């Protein structure tokens, strides 16, 4: 199965549709509650729930997800109700429209569970109608909407944020060690539709770090990411350097990074990362290890780019 351990836990939702076409006489039997197998829609709803819960057992690559909410609506095809969902040709036919909606808080979406649910509900209706109707047909199964995860990324990527990456490391500045985290951060930012205008390596020296950050703020670089100097060592000066000059704290960003990291290693609690704004620029300190830097960015990208609009007074 695909590795989804790097994904953020978010609220995800999906809406799907299925139709079972049937005869007018079947609809009359349903309305008069005279079907041989009894009540139709309560059983179909229960079958849909079971189908959703069993999706990972039916589809090999589907991860088990927590279904935090699911419901169905059943309506006979009606032009007034379904004109936006169905074509003119389908609106002329008789049948039952099944709409399923579900929510889940997790690392992967719930669209396959919702599609499976409406499909199984349609099959249950088919089974209950087959003694009285030989013209049954299931069709028009499709996803109507999904939210959460990748499907929400576009609202955070309406513009191309400008970024700078500052590597704070004595050994890297001396040429004793090659930079890995700064290069990784640059690649991840570019993959998130950001423009990395500056990349620089400096010793973990408070005055040098502050001077460089202030210069980038003066150039209106929107996001400044530092890497290194977030630990507890005697030369880990980056956090204190940044904390002294930020004007507005953004502790929620660092809480998200540490929480994301803590789910993967208990050592994440040692990170002293800080984030905040200077003028209209957001400064975020990341760990010096490539793994720590990658996980920290996975926790906040691309949502952190929305901070620029908030800084400019556009609110949420």
Catalytic residue positions, numbered = 127
First-to-last alpha carbon distance for the chain, in angstroms, is 36
279: how many CB neighbours lie within 10 A of its CB? 12
**Beta carbons within 8 Å of 46's beta carbon, 6+ residues apart:** none
């Amino acid at each position: 199965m695909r590795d989804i351990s790097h994904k953020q836990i978010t609220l995800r939702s999906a809406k799907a549709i299925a139709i079972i076409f049937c005869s007018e006489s079947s609809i009359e039997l349903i309305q008069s509650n005279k079907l041989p197998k009894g009540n139709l829609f309560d059983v179909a709803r229960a079958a849909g729930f079971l189908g959703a819960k069993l999706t990972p057992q039916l589809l090999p690559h589907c991860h088990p997800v927590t279904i935090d909410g699911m419901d169905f609506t059943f309506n006979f095809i009606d032009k007034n109700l379904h004109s936006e969902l169905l074509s003119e040709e389908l609106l002329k036919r008789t049948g039952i429209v099944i709409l399923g909606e579900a929510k889940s808080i997790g690392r992967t979406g719930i669209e396959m569970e919702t599609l499976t649910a409406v499909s199984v509900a349609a099959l249950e209706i088919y089974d209950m109608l087959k003694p009285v109707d030989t013209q049954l047909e299931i069709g028009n199964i499709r996803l109507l909407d999904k939210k959460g995860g990748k499907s929400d990324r576009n609202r955070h990527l309406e513009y191309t944020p400008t970024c700078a990456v500052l590597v704070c490391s004595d050994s890297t500045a001396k040429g004793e060690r090659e930079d890995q985290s700064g290069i990784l951060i640059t690649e991840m930012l570019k993959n998130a539709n950001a423009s990395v205008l500056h990349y620089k390596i400096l010793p973990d020296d408070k005055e040098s770090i502050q001077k460089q950050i202030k210069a980038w703020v003066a150039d209106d670089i929107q996001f400044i990411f530092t890497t290194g100097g977030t630990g507890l060592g005697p030369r880990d000066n980056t956090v204190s350097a940044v904390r002294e000059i930020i004007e507005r704290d953004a502790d929620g960003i660092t809480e998200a990074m540490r929480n994301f990291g803590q789910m993967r290693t208990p050592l994440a609690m040692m990170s002293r990362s800080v984030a905040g704004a200077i003028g209209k620029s957001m400064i975020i300190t990341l760990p010096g290890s490539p793994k720590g830097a990658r996980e920290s960015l996975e926790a906040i990208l691309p949502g952190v780019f929305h901070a620029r609009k908030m800084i400019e007074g556009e609110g949420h």
